Amino acid sequence: MGCLPTKHANRSLDSLDAREAVALAAETSFTVSEVEALYDLFRKLSNTIIKDGLIHKEEFHLALFRKKKKQNLFVDRVFDLFDEKQNGVIEFGEFVRSLSVFHPDAPEEQKIAFAFRLYDLRQTGFIERHELKEMVLALLDESDLNITSDAVEMIVDRTFDQADTKGDGRIDQEEWTEFAKSNPYVLRNMSLPYLKDITMVFPSFVIHSEISEADMAL
């Protein structure tokens, strides 16, 4: 991937603006201290390959797959949804806002909507059968699970039998919402428990935090 315009690289990689942390905490499920801790994680990820304070798809892929060098539709879709500006990189604000959906305390509606967008590969507002199959295969690949083609077809058929209540061969957002609420396992991967203890993962941000929770009132 080529060099990015200089304006992207002007940001300091060593500090987080206090007002930005407060603003992000106000619009997400994270506290100010957790936003600070996430900045530490973001800096690590954004320096993996290209040291420009932005997460590129290669860095995102490496973070999920470690040393495995393989392409995966699931990773690509998650990256695209994190990349709100659709400019090929993930900025810190995008990183926090998108991760917030996976917070255990995030509203179920947010998780359902994100999952729908994940499966709506062509962004048509519907989940088609072939899109569901592609994503099921990608999830199995990401998990290093090998099952037969017949089993994959069975998963897709069963999902459509339950979700496509209108019988038009596709799943709209309303149908998906009802399906997800009736089948909690659909959102099983939409909550990451460690996000609730992120300050314990990076405890230095609790000790050295320059932003107090009282700043939330600003």
pLDDT at 197: 73
Query: Residue 198, exposed/middle/buried by CB under 10 A (0-12, 13-18, 19+)?
Result: buried
Q: Domain range spanning residue 176?
A: 108-189
- At 216 the pLDDT is 41
**Does 7 reside within a domain?**
no
Identify whether the C-beta of residue 115 lies closer than 8 Å to the C-beta of residue 163.
Answer: no
In which residue are the tokens 């470690």 written?
Answer: 66
- Residue 180, pLDDT score: 96
N- to C-terminal Cα separation, the chain = 40
What's the confidence (pLDDT) of residue 13? 52
Residue 68 lies in a domain: yes
> Are 54 and 124 in the same domain?
no
Q: Would you say residue 13 lies in a domain?
A: no
Q: Are residues 28 and 94 in the same domain?
A: yes
Which residues of the chain are modeled with pLDDT < 70? Answer: 1-14, 65-70, 199-218
Contacts of 33 (CB under 8 A, 6+ apart): 199, 205, 206, 209, 211, 213
Query: How many domains are contained in the chain?
Result: 2
* Contact criterion met (CB below 8 Å) for 34 and 199: yes
For residue range 61-114, list pLDDT tens digits in order: 888 766 555 677 888 999 999 999 999 999 999 999 999 999 999 999 999 999
